[in-house]
Amino acid sequence: MDNIAEKRTVSISDMFSLRNVLRYSTLIAFVLVVIFFSLTSPLFLQANNLVNILSQASMLMFVATGLTFIVVIGGVDLSIAAAYGLAGLVSVSMLQSGMNWFAALLGGIFICVLLGLINSFLVVKVRISVWLATLGTLFIGESIEKIFTRGGAPIYLPKMHEAFQFLGRGSVLLIFSKTMGRIDF
């Protein structure tokens, strides 16, 4: 007897079944958002705008990638925003005090590691729920940010090392075009 797989035809009703719609809901929502903004703004699909959107989202993509690893192993971390904000705050503060850009970068990384260790200690040793431990760390971290910045006022760096500017700019390749102007990648 031959083991030949039957050729299955897919009907329209199968393609738009509730299971498929739920499976691809994020993609469907993304396509709908792109269609909406394309129709409401003629500038939306221009290369400059698309590169700008990707550039703006690039830092959050790094954070989301790290959080993805946590979610894949079955965990949750609500304090990631506090770690992100405190790392920037510590790095900028170290730069303002005249420290080396590399030390400031390591200071920001150290704060993230420290918050992770605090969360781990609270969950593993103190036996607090992951939700409560990371939510508490989030509130404490954001409170420290608000106190230090006097309610969220921006911190400016008039003189910053070129290497730190390069990291903060988020672009590694510049292309100049007559029709589109400057494009950062």
Pairing between strand 174-177 and 181-184?
A: antiparallel
Look at 116 and 163; give whichever has higher pLDDT. 116
Question: Is a pLDDT exceeding 70 seen at residue 171?
Answer: no
d(CA 167, CA 156): 16
In this prediction, residue 125 has a pLDDT band, given cuts at 50, 70 and 90, of: very high
Highest mean pLDDT out of 7-11, 38-42, 72-76:
38-42
Q: Residues of the chain with pLDDT > 70: what percent?
A: 75
User: What is the mean pLDDT of the segment spanning 76-90?
Assistant: 90
Report the chain's C-alpha Rg in angstroms: 23
Look at 19 and 183; give whichever has higher pLDDT. 19
pLDDT at 31: 93
Structure confidence by residue, pLDDT tens digits, 32-65? 999 999 999 989 988 888 878 887 787 788 888 8
Highest mean pLDDT out of 138-142, 148-152, 167-171:
138-142
Structure confidence by residue, pLDDT tens digits, 92-115? 888 888 888 889 989 999 999 999
CA 90 from chain centre, in angstroms, equals 19
Q: What is the 3-state secondary structure (H, E, C) of 41-106?
A: CCCCCCHHHHHHHHHHHHHHHHHHHHHHHHHHCCCCCCCHHHHHHHHHHHHHHHHHCCCCHHHHHH
Q: Average pLDDT, whole number, for the chain?
A: 82
pTM higher than the cut 0.85: no
